[in-house]
A and B are shown apart, each in its own frame.
Chain A
């Protein structure tokens, strides 16, 4: 989305840093406040479950642990994809990009499953402040992951068309930053929302 393919590795910029990468980091700084707001909202409302189920009643820790693990490992594959491209190893780059996208999709699949299970157990979006906050927070995260998957797939298409070359590994790096950030947010969410004991009815 940025114009500055020219300055791809930042030679000649004031800081010696690439504009695009700087842009992504600036953006991630901003995202901290976005997720911070959603997480705080959740924390304020976690014990306000009205007549509906409480978080402690319905969270399925083993299941979420697995999907958290999946997302964590997708960070590994992401970084491997980048490292492959930096070596000029286009084939492995594609493999790892695809794997990352698949792991991401698996995570999203898990989330869809979790959401439908919760719905079946009586936790609708409108059930309580807790339910609204929970679905909104994890939903926002899910949307971020999904956007990441779209970006990964675009990279893959680009690679298949032969335009994702070693010289352009920065693009992968930037998508990677985004991906890792989304992962890091989940590390936070997983601990604070799931593992810290939640109120029960």
Chain B
């Protein structure tokens, strides 16, 4: 295969070497390299996984609603909560953050696209492949059952002889590739593609937080990669990394997992912090209070997140000195996080706040995350944690920070940027119902878990006996879970209903929220080429500052309307990266390799061939479709410094990670 390619390449590209042209229908979505479309793909996929993960959560709650529940057997229950955790963390929150990062980050820095559009598409397809692969385990009837942190040796071949943990190890490995690739891509994008004048300290906080997250991913993903490899080698090739009988130490897994795992929780939360740092100033009609402190505290959280992993191991027997050290280091994470909370409050303080739905959700984050953060602080007190760990008190903590922090923030983002992506607003009325049902249901579900946990209810138990005082609050929590479900359902209805309404209603206009940052310079929805021309950035919140000035008394006065400030999206001569088939083909190869490792190596051959083909196709693919329209090279972005035909056709070779 490669032979022929190599021979053909120097001549004019034909056949597969031309890039796909289709701009309509599903082909367009499959081959797109447009960061906006990829963002939407991420979002839709993650929401589908959210419904799956939420369905699993509802099963958990049904089982636990009454003592000695019989909805799920012990075996099924273990699979359900494992897949619930894995799905929610790796297939919902992370890709939702990626959705926002993809769609907004290039816009917020005034770029045409990300630095490597095809790699960007690759990230998405690899993520999808990993997610489907993981859930495939349900279909073969062998979903992983070792818990989301998969402690060895329970996940080894002796104690998990089924294929479930193989799906876990390989599935997460695949999604890890996706995260790593997209992290590298976005770092380069932020560093290299900013609009003229946009220094780092003129970047929106959302962009900043995404940047910090990409660094966390960059350095944390390889750690779990190692852990998962070791697990896989243990299971499939008879290695002895976690086999105590041969003298191995199971704590090795715990260290590796949590060295990844704790930065991971900040990977989950920081995007949401970024989102609400955009929403709160907009709706408070005030600039973000203490911008540099918001940036530095985010960076500080990113750094400190590396030094606290063993707080998940306070009772593992790592020794009193280690416990003491990690206990203290954990406590101080409360400081930069507190700076953020207080700065948001200070931003709102003295504002004139419009409580539209995005703002409601952002407000929800500030208060609900605080509850979760404070219970986190109570865990960091190691002696106290010996009573708390592995109880529902922990379950309460992390749902408060993840649901109350990360997820609510993401919903704030949905409502805030929906017009940016789709050209119409989500319904306010349904939105408010959505918010209130979610927040009430959420508190009903997870609030009582504090009590349950302190009353001694262990987590990961598929049933409990009456007489331990668990009955009432479990039922209460289960009812709450269904209230959340109704809330989520309203969101789905809102999406459909507002899209339908938008067909007849007038368009949303340029600046529905009186917003502040660069992405609002483009019309809604964003045109394919993003910006008509480069934006010269001279201040933070450039968009806002072009709309408003100050009079001599320091009062804010309008100097321009959004119509005057915005670009009209009419540029037609911009040169866009062409779509490509190869990312999806490459991604499709990975699950086959994984199947091969589980079942028969023949699948590996198949998958390997696909990957090999895709890499070569990728390399020999011309940068542009030679038959496609050629604009002149304007603006800045990957297409900037004139691509001559010769360069375009040559082998673009860079090492593959």
Asked whether the complex places CB atoms of A and B closer than 8 A, the reply is yes
- Interface, chain A (partner B; CB < 8 A): 1-8, 10-15, 17, 19-20, 22-24, 26-27, 29-31, 33-34, 37-38, 41, 44-45, 48, 50, 125-129, 131-133, 136, 147-148, 151, 154-155, 157-158, 161-164, 167-168, 171, 174-175, 177-178
Once bound together, how far apart are the Cα atoms of A163 and B639, in whole Å? Answer: 20
Q: Are A7 and B655 in contact (CB under 8 A)?
A: no
Interchain CB contact under 8 A, B252 and A26: no
Which residues of chain B from 429 to 455 have a CB within 8 Å of any chain A CB? Answer: none
By beta carbon, the residue of chain A nearest B619 is: A1
Q: Contact between B191 and A163 (Cβ–Cβ < 8 Å)?
A: no
Instruction: Give Cα A132–Cα B654 distance, bound, in whole angstroms.
Output: 32
Whether the Cβ atoms of B119 and A1 lie closer than 8 Å is: yes
CA distance A6 to B651 in the complex (A): 13
The minimal Cβ–Cβ distance linking B310 to chain A, given in whole angstroms, is: 14
Interface residues on chain B, size class:
35 or more
The reply to whether B238 and A126 form a contact with Cβ atoms under 8 Å apart is: yes
Residue of A nearest to B638 (CB): A4
Chain B residues closer than 8 Å to A48, beta-carbon distance: 246-248
26 A-B interface contacts by CB (under 8 A):
A1-B615, A1-B619, A3-B638, A4-B115, A5-B623, A5-B643, A6-B641, A7-B638, A12-B636, A14-B194, A15-B191, A19-B115, A22-B187, A30-B183, A30-B657, A31-B222, A37-B222, A44-B249, A48-B247, A126-B239, A129-B246, A136-B239, A162-B10, A174-B655, A175-B654, A175-B655
A71 to B619, CA, bound (A): 28
Task: Name the residue of chain B whose CB is nearest to the CB of A10.
Answer: B192
For the complex of A and B, 7 pairs with smallest distance between CB atoms? A37-B226, A13-B192, A132-B239, A34-B222, A126-B238, A33-B222, A48-B247
A171–B652 Cα gap in the complex (Å)?
Answer: 8
Residue pair B222, A163 in contact (C-beta under 8 Å)? no
| CB-CB under 8 A for A26 and B655, given A3-B117, A37-B226 | no
A178 to B654, CA, bound (A): 10
Task: Kindly state whether residue B55 has any CB partner on chain A within 8 Å.
Answer: no
Q: For A24, list chain B residues within 8 Å (CB).
A: 654-655
> How far apart sit A44 and B234, CA to CA, in the bound complex (Å)?
16
| B233 close to chain A: CB less than 8 A | yes
CB <8 Å contact, B246 and A5: no
Partner of A128, one of B233, B246, B615: B246
Q: Mark B166-197, 1 if CB is under 8 A from A, else 0.
A: 00000000000000100111011001111000
Q: How far is the CA of A187 from the CA of B609 in the complex (A)?
A: 34
The smallest beta-carbon distance between A46 and chain B, in angstroms, is 12
Find chain A residues with CB under 8 A from B239 CB.
125-126, 132, 136
B230 at the interface (CB under 8 A from A): yes
**A14:B654 contact, CB within 8 angstroms:** no
Not counting A132-B241, A136-B230, A158-B651, a sample of 16 additional A-B residue pairs whose C-beta atoms are within 8 angstroms of each other reads A19-B116, A19-B192, A22-B192, A26-B184, A29-B218, A30-B219, A33-B220, A34-B223, A41-B256, A45-B248, A129-B240, A151-B655, A151-B656, A163-B650, A168-B647, A174-B654
- A145 → chain B, closest Cβ, in Å? 12
Asked if A5 and B248 sit within 8 Å, CB to CB, the answer is no
Identify the closest chain A residue to B243 (Cβ): A129
Q: Is B573 an interface residue (CB 8 A)?
A: no
Give the residues from 185 to 232 in chain B that come closer than 8 angstroms, CB to CB, to chain A: 185, 187-188, 191-194, 218-223, 225-227, 229-230
Taking the closest CB of chain A, its distance from the CB of B152, in whole angstroms, is 12
**Total A-B pairs, Cβ < 8 A:** 193
A147/B640 contact (C-beta < 8 A), A3-B118, A31-B222, A136-B229 known: no
A33 with B219: CB separation less than 8 A: yes
Residue among A24, A41, A147 having the largest count of chain B Cβ atoms under 10 Å: A41
A10–B641 Cα gap in the complex (Å)?
9
**Chain B: CB-nearest residue to A124:** B238
Instruction: List the B residue with the shortest CB-CB distance to A12.
Output: B640
**Cross-interface CB contact of B230 among A41, A128, A148, A164, cutoff 8 Å:** A41
- Residues of A within 8 Å of B641, CB to CB, are 6-8, 11-12
Cβ-defined contact, B238 with A1, below 8 A: no
Assuming the contacts A26-B218, A129-B240, A163-B10, asked whether A5 and B116 have C-beta atoms less than 8 A apart, the reply is no
Smallest Cβ distance from A134 to chain B, in angstroms? Answer: 11
Taking CB atoms and an 8 Å cut-off, the chain B residues in 111-152 that contact chain A are 115-119
Contact of A30 among B221, B234, B652 (CB under 8 A): B221
Given contacts A37-B226, A136-B233, contact A1 B652 (CB under 8 A): yes
Among B119, B218, B226, B636, the one with the most A-chain Cβ atoms within 10 Å of its Cβ is: B226
The answer to whether B222 touches A5, judged by C-beta atoms less than 8 angstroms apart, is no
In the assembly, what is the distance between CA of A120 and CA of B238, in Å?
18
Give complex CA distance A178, B194 in Å: 27
Q: What residues of A have a CB within 8 angstroms of the CB of B248 in the complex?
A: 45, 48, 129
In the complex, A31 Cα to B640 Cα: how many Å?
A: 30
Measured CA separation A72–B3 after assembly (Å):
32
Tell me, rounded to whole Å, the shortest Cβ–Cβ distance linking B387 to chain A.
30
Does B525 interact with chain A (Cβ within 8 Å)?
no
Task: Name the residue of chain A whose CB is nearest to the CB of B218.
Answer: A30
Closest residue to A132 on the B side, CB-wise? B239
A109 to B327, CA, bound (A): 48
**Which of A14, A37, A129, A167 has a CB less than 8 Å from the CB of B192?**
A14
Contact status A50-B241, CB under 8 Å = no
Q: B252 — which chain A residues lie within 8 A by C-beta?
A: 41, 44
Taking the closest CB of chain B, its distance from the CB of A140, in whole angstroms, is 8
Known contacts A12-B640, A15-B192, A171 near B246 by CB under 8 Å: no
The answer, yes or no, to whether B502 is at the interface (CB within 8 Å) is: no
By a CB distance below 8 angstroms, the chain A residues around B642 are: 6
State whether the Cβ of B345 lies closer than 8 Å to any Cβ in chain A: no
Among the listed A30, A126, A136, which residue makes an inter-chain contact with B222, where contact means beta carbons less than 8 Å apart? A30
Closest Cβ of chain A to B657, distance in Å, is: 5
Which chain B residue has the least Cβ–Cβ distance from A181?
Answer: B655
> Which residue of B230, B233, B238, B643 is within 8 Å of A6 (Cβ)?
B643
Q: CB distance B653 to A175 under 8 Å?
A: yes
Does B657 lie within 8 Å of A27, measured CB to CB?
Answer: yes
Contact between chains at A6 and B184 (CB < 8 Å): no
Q: Which listed residue, A8, A20, A22, touches B191 by the CB 8 Å rule?
A: A22
User: Taking the nearest CB of chain B, how far is it from the CB of A8, in angstroms?
Assistant: 8
Chain A residues near B651 (CB, 8 Å)?
154, 158, 161, 163-164
Known pairs A33-B223, A37-B227; A3 contacts B577 (CB<8 A): yes
Flag whether B374 is at the interface (Cβ < 8 A). no
Given the known A-B contacts A1-B656, A5-B643, are A34 and B225 also in contact in the complex, defined by CB atoms under 8 Å?
yes
A178 touches B638 (CB 8 A): no
> Measured between C-beta atoms, what is the minimum distance from A143 to chain B in Å?
11
Contact indicator A5/B577 (Cβ below 8 Å): no
- A125–B180 CA distance with the chains assembled, in angstroms: 29
Q: Which residues of B contact A30 (CB under 8 A)?
A: 180, 183-184, 218-219, 221-222, 657
Q: List the A side residues contacting B400 at CB < 8 Å.
A: none
Inter-subunit contact A27/B10 (CB<8 Å): no
Chain B residue contacts of A3, Cβ below 8 A: 116-119, 577, 623, 638, 652
